[in-house]
Amino acid sequence: HQARIERMEEAQKEREEYEKACGDCKRKLSECQKKLKDLQLLETDDAKKEIEKLQAEVKQLKKEEKEWDKKGASLKKKEKAMPWNVDTLSKEGFSKSVINITPESSKVETEEDKEKKHKTFVEKYEKQIKHFGMLSRWDDSQKYLSDHPHLVCEETANYLVIWCIDLEVEEKHALMEQVAHQTIVMQFILELAKSLKVDPRACFRQFFTKIKTADKQYIEAFNDELGAFKERVKGRAQARIEKAMKEYEEEERQKRLGPGGLDPVEVYENLPDEMKNCFDSKDIQLLQDVISKMDPTEAKYHMQRCIDSGLWIPNAKAAEEEGEKSKEDEDPVYEEVKKESSEEK
């Protein structure tokens, strides 16, 4: 009997060590994959270096994950082979209540399905998700999830992530940090559910028990992930702002384009300083004098660009006379300036 007890204790210890190590491996892999996904949106040199480092780490962790999966299968087989006895038959079946253990579905969920599911969920529970995001005490969060267990899911976590980025873009930094805390709470619950292979609603109380009992290693992991997440949010917010600015600048540039498809601002910036002064002062006589001293080919080039960008608009009479010219007549465009100048006199 004593030998049997020792074998059972050894098997239990082996199972606990496996679950802890396997859970840590999967958590680290998930964290690395999230960081990698966020960094891929950035194009800085530092980000590229970090991406290479994370890719190598993900590769190694995936290798470890496969080894732990093999170890888990081996343990399961070993446990099944253990004979039943008075000790195993009288042992409590479950040390925790488990609801709705997630079945493995053979149907692969498409991105379109996920988007539709997320949209439907948010439309129904957005107010409740935001309420959870504003909570700050562990007890309050636990009670709210106990009253609203449907919120313990990926859709809530995804909404909170997007909300954090929105708040950072709006420069509501303090509120962003509050919601970020609740985002990591939800993500830790989801990771715990994955490691235990149960429905997240069945284990969220375990998360709060662990975090409230001041498990130093667990709290440090939580705070590290929270800090890293806030940095990723800031990076995503900055990238979104820069993208919006580029889009706005491009829209403004498109509005400015002249009849020939050129941007007057760009054309002006590339003009010789003497010609810039003419346009600044709107002095046609001065422009005529400057052109007369320039190389004819260069003068024609710049004036044609001014016309194509709308920076210079020849008058109707000059345009009409230009249309009546034969193809052999290759007078420089800058002569139009002289025509307008003489007409104004």
**What separation, in Å, do the N-terminal and C-terminal C-alpha atoms of the chain show?**
120
Is 182's pLDDT higher than 80? yes
What pLDDT, on the 0 to 100 scale, is given for residue 116?
A: 85
Domains identified in the chain, total number: 3
| pTM for the structure as a whole | 0.50
Residue ending a domain, choose from 248, 275, 290: 248
Residue ending a domain, choose from 65, 81, 97: 81
The residue ranking higher by pLDDT, 142 or 24, is: 142
Interval 48-72: pLDDT, tens: 778 888 888 888 888 888 888 888 7
Interval 14-23: pLDDT, tens: 777 878 888 8
**Residue 7 belongs to a domain:** yes
Give 128-150 as a DSSP string: HHHHHHT--SHHHHHHHHHH-GG
Q: Where residue 345 falls among pLDDT bands split at 50, 70, 90?
A: very low
| Mean pLDDT, rounded, of the chain | 78
Give ∠ CA 72-78-82 in degrees, rounded to 5. Answer: 140
Same-domain pairing of 209 and 276:
no
Domain span at 280: 264-309
Contacts 24+ apart (CB under 8 A), 170-175: none
**Residue 224 belongs to a domain:** yes
Out of 13-27, 125-139, 218-232, which region has the weakest mean confidence (pLDDT)? 13-27
Same-domain pairing of 190 and 141:
yes
